[in-house]
Amino acid sequence: MTGTFDTVIERAGQHRGGRGAVLAQAGNAHAVTDLSTVPADRLLSAMTRCVFNAGFNWKVIAAKWDGFEAAFQGFDPAKLAFFGDEMMGDLVSDERIVRNGQKIKATLENARMVAEIEQGEGGFGRFLAEWPADDQTGLMAALNKRGSRLGGATAQYFLRFCGWDAWITSADMCAALKREGVLEKPVATSKGDLARVQATVNLWHEESGLPRATISRLLALSTG
């Protein structure tokens, strides 16, 4: 790496009105005090929104979201896990939602995952809250293995939006990490790349005391 994280903050501040302004802008608006208290249906809702956002116009999904909530019966994981197969036919023809069969099927499969963790591991929110904050790559791998369509950036966005202290390997963040000598190319898709991102964010977290999500946002903002 080429320098300390303080140099990244200063660079971001040059583009965003100074150090104080950029630190305020980089705060994680999605952070929650205790993720273990967030109801499972809200976590499944956030997960589903990220699954449907992938490859779609986010504004389209947002405009239809009340319809999604109604069609998926409030994202009650136990209900969807039990009745999912029976609901599939109705959901793929429901005009209140984006009728993508693969993503609808993924939602029902993810409901089963959430319901299983709720029952067997003391709650899905607790599962997320107790996962070590310095091992986002491990949590992403677990979600990808146990769930459906939760690979790559989808898992990163879900973790950020549900309140976990997550970094997101956006194009701007990866460009900044290449500039800092962490990545050879401005992308992070391989296991090796993600491991380097994790190690670097952990190092800068220890150095700066800032949340990992804030570090991620500051890197992105430092590109201009």
30: burial class by Cβ within 10 Å (0-12, 13-18, 19+)? middle
How many domains does the chain contain in total?
A: 2
Quick one: 154 and 191 in the same domain?
A: no
41 and 77 Cβ atoms separated by less than 8 Å: yes
Look up residue 193 and give its two tokens.
Answer: 């790349």
| First vs last C-alpha separation in the chain | 20
Range of the domain at 23: 5-28+167-221
pLDDT of 2? 56
Quick one: 52 and 16 in the same domain?
A: no
158 and 46 Cβ atoms separated by less than 8 Å: yes
Quick one: 182 and 106 in the same domain?
A: no
24 and 72 Cβ atoms separated by less than 8 Å: no
CATH number (domain holding residue 154): 1.10.340.30
Q: How far apart are CA 175 and CA 216, in angstroms?
A: 12
Quick one: 147 and 199 in the same domain?
A: no
Domain boundary among 143, 162, 181: 162
Quick one: 117 and 75 in the same domain?
A: yes
Quick one: 59 and 152 in the same domain?
A: yes
Over residues 162-206, the pLDDT tens digits come to 999 999 999 999 999 999 999 999 999 999 999 999 999 999 999
35 and 223 Cβ atoms separated by less than 8 Å: no
Over residues 14-55, the pLDDT tens digits come to 999 999 999 999 999 999 999 999 999 999 999 999 999 999
Quick one: 90 and 198 in the same domain?
A: no
Quick one: 61 and 123 in the same domain?
A: yes
Quick one: 23 and 70 in the same domain?
A: no
* Side chain identity at residue 121, one-letter code: E
Quick one: 82 and 150 in the same domain?
A: yes
Q: How far apart are CA 217 and CA 222, in angstroms?
A: 9
Quick one: 112 and 173 in the same domain?
A: no
Taking the whole predicted model, whether its pTM rises above 0.85 is answered as: yes
Contacts of 108 (CB under 8 A, 6+ apart): 80, 81, 84, 85, 87, 88
pLDDT of 211? 97
Quick one: 16 and 43 in the same domain?
A: no
